[in-house]
Structure 1
Amino acid sequence: MNIIIIEDEFRAAKSLQNLITELKPEAKIIGVYDSIEMSIEALKDSKPDLIFMDIHLSDGLSFEIFKQAEITCPVVFCTAFDQYMLDAFKSKGVDYVLKPFSREDIAEAFRKVDELKKFFQKTELPDLEALIQKITQPQTPAKTSFLVFKNQKYTTILTENIAYFFIHNEITHLMTFDKQQFQLTQTLGQIAEQVSQKQFFRVNRQYIVNFSAIKEMEHYFQRKILVKLTVETPEQLLINKEKSHSFFSWLEDR
C-alpha cells in the first residue's frame, strides 16, 4: 500500500508517519506534502492507494486539490475542524479524524479502508452512499456510564451526570455536575465517539461539554464565542469562529 500524507503541521505529519509505520509496516509512505500547490504537482506523477489529508493547509483548503488533480484512492481527512465533514465525504473521504488524533483513531481509519476494499471486491456495482453511511455510523450505542478510579476505589459515573470532559496536563478528566473530578484512560477523541452526539459537543481540542451544563454564551475577541457552564471550568471555554456555526447548529438541534 502506497500512502501520501498532506499535512502542514510538522508534529501532526510526523505523528501520522510513526502511527502508519506501526500499524501498517508493509505500507510505504511515498510522499509528505504541506501545501495545495505541492500536493497537486506530486499527484500528477503519483498514484497512491490511500491519502491522509489535512483540510486547513498553508495556502488554503485542501478541497482545492480535488479540482486540479485526479484522485482515485480513498482519503482519510485529519483536521481540527468538524464543519467540513459533508464536504469531506463528497471528496472520496472514508473517515474524518479530529485532531489531536490517537493510535486508535488511525487504526479505525485503516479498518474502514480495509472494509471499503473488501466491499468492492465482493460487489460489482456498489452503492457508495450506503457504504459511506455504513462505515461512518457509530458501531456501538452511546455510553451510559464511565468506570473511574479514585482514592483506591472503583466507581461508575453516569454519563448524564457529567458536565464536561477535559484535558489537563495531557490527561483526560471528567467533571460531574456536583463538581467531582476523575481521571480517565480514554483520549478525548475516543470519548467523543462514545458519548451521545446530540447531548455532548467537542467545543475545542481540550473540552467536550454536556448540553445540560451550558449556562450562557457571549461574543469574544476575534469572533470567538465564550461559553459559560453551570460548573466552572479551569480556564475560559472558547470556540473559534470556524467552529461556532456547527456549535450553534448543535444547540438548535433539540
Structure 2
Amino acid sequence: MNVLIIEDEVPAAEKLERYLSRYDSNINVLKKLTSVQDSVAWLKQNQEQVDLIFMDIQLTDGKSFDIFKEVTLSKPIIFITAYDDYAIDAFKVNSIAYLLKPITFDDLSQSMQKLTSLRENLGNAPQNTGELNMVLQNLSKKNYKTRFMVKLGEHIKSVTTNDVELFYAEGRTVYLYTVNNRKFIIDYKLEELEELLDPVQFFRANRSFILNINAIEDVVVYSSSRLKVTPRLDLNKEIIVSREKVSAFKDWFNGL
C-alpha cells in the first residue's frame, strides 16, 4: 500500500510513519508534505500512485481543506488533527476516520482495519475504486434534522428546516423564527442544534444566533474586522459574526 502523509509537524509525521511500519511493514510512505501549496503540486502529478492519504488539517500555509479547491481527490483520507472543530467538514470529503492528536497505535490500527474492511467488501480490483469512493462518501453522510415540532396555542404543527429563517437564544430559551416572521419556543439548545442541522444550510454566527443561508439579506464589514448580518425578516436584533468565526463564515457563505 502506498501512503501519502500531509503533516506540517515533523515529529508527528515521523511518529505516524513508525506506526504504519509497525502495523504493516509492506506499507510504503511515498512522500511527506507540509503545506497546502506543495500538496497541491505533488497531487496533481502523482495522485494515481497513492492508495491512502493521512492529512493534518492545520498546515504551514492554511487548512488542508484548501487542497480540495485545487485538486479533485479520489483517494480515501484519514484526518489527523489536534482540533475537533472540523469533523463535519472532514466527512464531506473522502474521509474514513478523524483522529485527534496525540494519536495512539490503536487509533491508527482501527482506522486501517476500517479501510481494509471496506476494500474487502468491495474487492480490490481497480474497477472498484470508484465504488469504494462512493461508499466512503455515503458513510460520511449524516441524516440532518428536516423538521421541528412547535406549539401554537393548544395545537402543534411541523415546521420544515427550509422554512426556518434562524434560531435565536435568549437566556435559556431558544426561539425558532420562520419565513413569515413568526417565532416559536423549541426545546433545544443551540449546541444541540449545531449537531442536528445541515452545516451547508445553517451556520452559528455567535452565542445567540444560528442562521439559514437563504435567510440572509446583507452582510457588511463591521468594526474590528467582524461582520454584521442583516436577515431578510424584520428582526429588531443586531447579528454580529464573532471575530473568531469570521473566516469560517466566509467559507460557508462562499459555499466551501
TM-score (norm 2): 0.49
Q: Which has the higher contact order (CA 8 A, sep 6+)?
A: 1
Q: Which has the larger radius of gyration?
A: 2
